[in-house]
Each structure stands twice: as structure tokens, then as C-alpha cells.
């Protein structure tokens, strides 16, 4: 799905899928799924899809049908969704290690897709998060 929202394009085909959750059996009226995506610009969005008995239902004439939606999320909203729906390790792989009480604040940056892939590969090889790798590099300057 793709959608233009406030002059910006959000496309599930070109953004990076970070995590998905689903409820129910596919094809049932109460089935729904939500997927968290990140654009190459660092923007987050949620793609939701569901049957006629879900919050994604839409009215078409006299009928109620399943539907889908893209919702733009702030970094904080994406983190809140991730806290509810992801394991701690999955969360930290995306948003960086949680350092309780250290006063860390999340920032968004944009990288070319090829550089993001290199950063992710390097972080995995080092057993670190992307945030840790970037922080170490900045400290070395």
C-alpha cells in the first residue's frame, strides 16, 4: 500500500519493515495485522489491515468491509508501539540500547539505504546496536 500524507509518500514496498503483529485467523472477520515501517528518511509509519469487525473496517455503501490504513508516527509513537509489541532485544536493535535514567533522547537521521545496510551489518558483527556503533564513532572524533 502507498499513500500521500501531507505531501509525503509512505509506501510499504519501499520502506523497511521493522516488525509485524497479527490477531486472529487470516480471512476471518476479526483478523487484523499491524506493521511498523521506517522510510529511508527515518520517518516511521504504521500499516494496519483488518476485516469488517476490526478498527480497520470501512463502510462501502450499506456494507461494512475490511480495510487498510497508513498512519504516520513520531519517533515517540513508534517507540511506544514497539514497546507494546516487540521483545526488548527487537526494540533495542531498532531504537538502541535502553539506558534507564541516563537521560538519553531519541534522534532521527537519514542515511542512504546502502549505508544503512552497511551500518546494520557492522553492528550485527560487533554484537552492538546501530546507536552504539554511531555513538562510538562520534566519541572517537
Mean pLDDT of 5-11: 95
Rounded to two decimals, the pTM is 0.69
pLDDT of 104: 60
pLDDT per residue as tens digits for the range 105-140: 667 778 888 888 888 878 777 777 788 888 888 889
**Domain residue spans of the chain:** 2-107, 111-141
pLDDT of 103: 58
Strand arrangement of the beta sheet that strand 32-38 belongs to: 16-23, 32-38, 44-50, 67-73
Bigger pLDDT: 123 vs 38: 38
pLDDT of 100: 67
pLDDT per residue as tens digits for the range 54-105: 999 999 999 999 999 999 999 999 999 999 999 999 999 988 888 765 556 6
Amino acid at each position: 500500500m502507498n499513500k500521500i500524507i501531507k505531501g509525503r509518500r509512505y509506501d510499504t514496498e519501499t520502506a523497511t519493515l521493522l516488525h509485524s503483529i497479527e490477531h486472529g485467523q487470516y480471512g476471518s472477520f476479526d483478523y487484523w495485522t499491524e506493521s511498523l515501517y521506517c522510510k529511508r528518511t527515518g520517518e516511521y509509519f504504521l500499516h494496519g489491515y483488518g476485516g469488517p469487525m476490526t478498527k480497520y473496517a470501512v463502510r462501502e455503501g450499506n456494507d461494512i468491509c475490511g480495510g487498510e490504513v497508513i498512519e504516520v508516527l513520531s519517533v515517540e509513537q513508534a517507540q511506544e508501539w514497539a514497546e507494546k509489541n516487540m521483545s526488548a532485544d527487537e526494540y533495542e536493535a531498532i531504537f538502541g540500547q535502553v539506558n534507564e535514567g541516563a537521560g538519553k533522547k531519541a534522534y532521527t537521521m537519514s542515511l542512504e539505504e546502502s549505508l544503512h545496510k552497511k551500518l546494520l551489518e557492522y553492528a550485527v558483527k560487533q554484537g552492538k546496536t546501530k546507536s552504539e556503533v554511531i555513538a562510538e564513532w562520534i566519541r572517537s572524533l
